[in-house]
Amino acid sequence: MVAPVVAAACGHGSQTPTPEPTAPLPTAGIAAQQVGITPLTLIVAEDSLHWQALLGERRAALAKSDSVIGALLTTRAPEVTWLLPDELRRAARRAPGIAPDPDQMGTAILLRGGGREEIVPDPLRHELRTLAALVGAGGGRFVLVPAGLVFRRTGGPADGRTGGAAQGRTGGVGAQHAAPLPHGLAIAELTVVMVDVRTGRVGFRTVARGEGNDPWTALTGAVKSLTPGLP
């Protein structure tokens, strides 16, 4: 079984609650099983990062993110038979009119949790079950959903040097005049959800975080945090 992990806010009224630590993937519970990885459909970055050129066209950025996630999981958690987004796409093309388009599913709805007894709503629940049944040799019970990737500006030495402008980076006039990052340092927040397609229940949820001076270094760090103890 995949152990339930549900993030909970712990700020107790604080404006900047401490983020929950990233929970490692429960690979022991899904070892030797086929687990599909759905394509990422949501990727956004704070304007103050000025990463429009680095991220480029949306579809290309999503494809590169899928590649980073898939490559790292297959390398760092080989005990699981990961079915990558391209495999899900091929399965969908073999069943037109039956299978959903993996790139058009509303997986971003899972970006925010629905509580301890979280159930995936329809039609996404039905789509995930259909796709899992079609892909691979007989499908699998679990699907890993990267629900969204958010890049945020981190605090750093520049914040102290720029005074109020840096402090106001999340809104108002300060956000418009925020100084460039020292080395462009930012944090990637990748929300990852494991769904039991038989029941529609979310059995695992975490936000993986990683820092970097470009989107792909930050994302790499985030995915690596899902399998701690490895270089």
**How do the domains of the chain map onto residue ranges?**
27-224
Tell me the pTM.
0.79
Phi/psi at 84 (nearest 5 deg)?
A: -75, 165
Q: Which helix (H) or strand (E) holds 214?
A: none
DSSP assignment of 25-63, as one string?
Answer: P-HHHHTTSEEEEPPP--EEE-GGG--HHHH-SHHHHHH
Q: Which of 105, 140, 122 is nearest to 200 (CA)?
A: 122
pLDDT classification of 10: cutoffs 50, 70, 90? very low
pLDDT (0 to 100) of residue 65: 97
Q: What mean pLDDT comes out for the span 32-40?
A: 94
**Res 226 pLDDT > 70:** yes
**Res 9 pLDDT > 50:** no
**Res 231 pLDDT > 70:** yes
Tell me what the pLDDT averaged over the chain comes to: 81
pLDDT classification of 112: cutoffs 50, 70, 90? confident
Q: Are the C-beta atoms of 37 and 85 separated by less than 8 Å?
A: yes
Q: Are the C-beta atoms of 207 and 20 separated by less than 8 Å?
A: yes
**Res 82 pLDDT > 80:** yes
pLDDT in tens, 41-69: 999 999 989 888 888 899 999 999 999 99
pLDDT in tens, 159-216: 333 333 333 333 333 333 344 444 448 999 999 999 999 999 999 999 999 999 999 9
Q: What mean pLDDT comes out for the span 78-92?
A: 94
Q: What mean pLDDT comes out for the span 102-106?
A: 93
CB atoms within 10 A of CB 110: 24
pLDDT (0 to 100) of residue 7: 37
pLDDT in tens, 133-162: 888 655 678 999 999 999 998 864 433 333
pLDDT (0 to 100) of residue 20: 84
